[in-house]
Amino acid sequence: MARSLGSNKEISKLPCPEKGQRLVWDSDVPGFGVRITAAGARSFIFNYRVRGTGRERRYTIGSVADWKVTAAREEAKRLRKVVDLGGDPIGEIEDERRKADEEKRRSKTVGQLIDRFEEEHLPSLRPATQKFYKLALKNHLRPALGKKRINDVDRSDVEKIFRKLTDLGQKHQANQCVTLTGVLFRYAGKWGWHTGENPTQDFEKNRLSGRERYLLPDESRRLSQAIEGLEDKQAAAILKVLLLTGARIGETCRMRWEQIDFHRATWIKPASVTKQKRDHRLPLTAPVLAVLSKIKEEQSPVSEWVFPGRSKEGYRNDIRSAWATALKAAEIDQLRIHDLRHSFASTLVGSGYSLPVIGALLGHASTATTQRYAHLADDPLREAMTRATHLIEATAKNEPAEVIQPDFGRKA
């Protein structure tokens, strides 16, 4: 039952409920009252229904300890007028809070975006990607954009970074910084920190000429001999596995014994180490199994890693010195370790294997990646054309010609 609320002193004497809360309504202003909790807390409130929706809402004016009843009643009268005119006092407060939260999110800087990206997303990436991203963020993106508000960054800011690196001859780095900036802004949008278009959208990057070096047959022979002669036998084993499998250096160095099935002659590379971020099952040949079997027999102390090392992770992660020694002994210039992978692919293509088969062996996620080796198939085709030409010319001259037997064993 409504009653005229007396003084604050009288309100303070109102009994508390045994549990929950008790509401005492004022008879003078509809919706105005006092809320009393079982713990003794007392607050002035205003109850109303939103016009149009009929939704009932309760607005807390303030504590009885902070408000005089007369002032609280006047505030309730003001709120009643707002409601009668179609307003929603609580809704307005919520809108203001929402706007404040949105403004707070929009005021985030690129530096704060980088901090969160490094903390939440970077650890899930491959070690090599983590290393590159950290350097690019530290050396290029943070210095150039770190203090800018995310929503203030536009295409021209990205172009400045891109042009600076391009002019220094670091075209690949320039492209990668654009890609990384795009990734950052995709996460900014996902987290509600950025609205509008990604500043890297439809960005025209540098065109890079592919650098693919393939071992010639004589180079391959000399390199194999040089690897066998290395004093660093562990590095020699790693290089031999790379040479005979076409695997990536990171995958090979992080090889664990649990990934090798000697019975089925397979190497299951887990998604955590593969570039395509999915498990890759690779058949192993007898020479590779022989290398691994010898290591397993001689390894002391026994390790979870096939190639244990002094890195903080526990595996061997640097064979540059041994690689330089092998190249010098083999008298080979301008060859990267990754070029062993290209050479492995070129051997498969030259042997007539299809691109899907080669892609499966190399662990490519897309056939487009394997397509880069398609031109290498020209060599066996040229050989076939040459033989056909000789046969036709010999027939025209009425000369005996070599009979070419078809090789049905060759893979299509």
At 272-287, the pLDDT tens digits run 888 777 888 899 999 9
Question: What's the pLDDT at 383?
Answer: 59
Question: What's the pLDDT at 104?
Answer: 65
For the chain, the maximum distance between any two Cα atoms, rounded to a whole number of angstroms, is: 129
* pTM greater than the 0.85 cutoff: no
pLDDT tens-digit profile of 202-218? 999 988 765 667 788 88
- Provide the angle, in degrees to the nearest 10, between the axes of the packed helices 89-106 and 69-84: 90
pLDDT tens-digit profile of 237-263? 999 999 999 898 989 999 999 999 999
Q: What DSSP designation does 141 have?
A: I
pLDDT tens-digit profile of 81-112? 989 888 888 888 888 787 766 766 667 899 99
Question: What's the pLDDT at 409?
Answer: 41
- C-alpha distances in Å from residue 259, one per residue of 50, 247, 268, 291: 65, 14, 5, 15
- What tokens does 201 get? 């959208």
Q: Give the containing element (helix H, strand E) for 176.
A: helix 171-190
pLDDT tens-digit profile of 9-61? 888 889 999 999 999 999 888 899 999 999 999 999 999 999 878 889 999 99
* Mean of pLDDT over the chain: 85
Peptide bond into 301 cis (omega under 30): yes
- What tokens does 388 get? 């056909």
Distance, CA of 283 to CA of 26 (rounded, Å) = 84
Question: Strand ranges (DSSP E) for 157-283?
Answer: 260-261, 266-269, 280-283
Roughly how many angstroms between the first and final C-alpha of the chain, as a whole number? 92
Q: Name the band, by pLDDT with cuts 50, 70 and 90, for residue 222.
A: very high
Query: Which of the given ranges, 121-135, 180-194, 375-389, has the highest pLDDT on average?
Result: 180-194
Question: What's the pLDDT at 406?
Answer: 44
Q: Name the band, by pLDDT with cuts 50, 70 and 90, for residue 271.
A: confident
